[in-house]
Chains A and B, each alone.
Chain A
């Protein structure tokens, strides 16, 4: 690895035209894309929330569907950024060669990477907002505090976008992404407090859970949804920011090695 490849990513507003390119593509497919964003989480929320919820007493004093709403919002926010940075990012980089066209203009790979990061987080924001709207409409949250979740989804998006870009930078093909889902995303969903409280888990899984970013996302969103201030807000935000920043740095270095050497 050369010295020049290890330098910190340069953050410049030049990412905006590249971000707008992705927005223009998205606009052409906005309605199916929004429906797709909503369909999967809604199936879980209604299926598990009403189905499983009937069998259960309350969880931490909440009806199960209210409890599940926060988890659903977090994991689908995570998924939006993840899918965007993996599959769509890989298409733009490798299949459509959109990045190579951009790099021939007065933009750099760092600009492209920042655009990918912010765009994937934008997709998280969109999906977070749409689920929040459904939650409000269903009456699963009645607190103004839940509006803070909009800002939290941006942080969740940046976190998982940064992490996913590392995988995209390493990936030879779309099939490679399956490892990431099997080894990280799915386990995170199961131990991160999405479907049930982390305290139900054996101790070692609780320890594992405590270092995974999704756990910290859920730990912020769940209280906000019922109008409470999350405990240790700074810790949760810090951990998400740490994963996102580290992922973004590593992915930028790997991309420089992949594309610029």
Chain B
């Protein structure tokens, strides 16, 4: 069952197409990742799907409701974690949840019954009465996730859910999101972390310049879009090695500053040639989603 779909979605800002014909559909229980460089149109797409901004063209259906016309009613069954912290700084942990429940029309008594479970899920049981200023970034993000679950939503929108978190905090969020997927929740997330997308998402859509330029399961994208092996090389003597060996042996290579990324199917030749260059350092690894991402969206900075 499709819970979210967009058809030919368009949004212009100041004469510039930020979303320029986005088509995608999300099945119930799926985790779909929207990847893309800064300014690719990911957040705008999410805001359009939530009915927070009016599209300049195209159709959106969210949980069988037409958006933006019936967005308010569709949002009853949706949870959102925004990119920036928008918890209420004057409230305690549980007040944040209680007040948010009221926005859905829930009686305080009903929300109060849910709060212990939500706090436990977020690992905040010991901190129910803690003030916001005493919470770390990771704890705040977990509280934001708990708050997004206040209405037991069918679909969750997460805009860069682990941005700015340390690895411990990030792993904990991933664990919780997987738990939610096991409970058959649907998740749509945007991220810059390819590792996050590979771990969580059954399917990713890579966006650039307002359009989806590739989509599919991460493994399939890697198989389809890129050579399976990568050797990253840097250090003194790189130029002469490239002239002598690299340029000929690599099926394809990309330069990024002081490093060269060689992409290929068979790496024996290249690895053997590197032995003669002790000043060069190299890393041989299988291709990953980040390689696909960089190949499709380019290596130049976006902002």
Contact = CB atoms under 8 A, between A and B. Distances in A.
B54 A261 contact: yes
Interface residues of A, number: 23
Contacts of A104: 50, 52, 75, 78, 80, 82
A107 B72 contact: yes
Contacts of B152: none
Nearest to A101: B86
A106 B73 contact: yes
B193 interface: no
Contact of A25 (B88, B105, B151): B88
A18 B89 CA distance: 15
B72 A96 contact: no
Given A96-B88, A97-B86, A261-B53, A17 B102 contact: yes
Contact of A18 (B84, B90, B103): B103
A106 B78 CA distance: 9
Interface string B58-98: 00000000000000110110101010111111110001000
A103 B72 CA distance: 9
A96 B86 contact: yes
A108 interface: yes
Contacts of B86: 96-98, 100-101
Given A97-B82, A105-B104, A107-B103, A21 B53 contact: no
Chain A interface, >50% SS class: helix
Contact of B103 (A4, A24, A105): A105
Interface string A83-112: 000000000000011101111111110000
Given A96-B88, A98-B88, A101-B87, A106 B103 contact: yes
Contacts of A100: 82, 84, 86
Nearest to A21: B99
A260 B102 CA distance: 23
Contacts of B82: 97, 100-101, 104
A260 B151 CA distance: 24
Interface in B190-249: none
B52 A106 contact: no
A97 B85 contact: yes
B238 to A, nearest CB: 47
Contacts of B121: none
A200 to B, nearest CB: 45
B157 to A, nearest CB: 8
A20 B80 CA distance: 22
Contact of B102 (A20, A103, A108): A20
A8 B86 CA distance: 28
Contacts of B104: 105-106
A11 to B, nearest CB: 15
Contacts of B105: 17, 106
A2 interface: yes
B67 to A, nearest CB: 13
Contacts of A24: 90-91, 95, 99
Nearest to B150: A105
A260 B53 contact: yes
A17 B108 CA distance: 11
B293 to A, nearest CB: 28
Contacts of B102: 17, 20-21
B100 interface: yes
A260 B104 CA distance: 20
A161 to B, nearest CB: 21
Interface of B: 50, 52-54, 72-73, 75-76, 78, 80, 82, 84-91, 95, 99-100, 102-105, 147, 151
Interface of A: 2, 4, 17-18, 20-21, 24-25, 28, 96-98, 100-108, 260-261
19 contacts: A17-B99, A17-B102, A20-B99, A21-B99, A24-B95, A24-B99, A25-B90, A28-B90, A97-B82, A97-B85, A97-B86, A100-B86, A101-B100, A101-B147, A102-B103, A103-B52, A105-B100, A106-B73, A106-B104
Across the A-B interface, give the 5 residue pairs with the lowest CB-CB distance, nearest first.
Answer: A17-B102, A97-B86, A105-B103, A104-B80, A101-B86
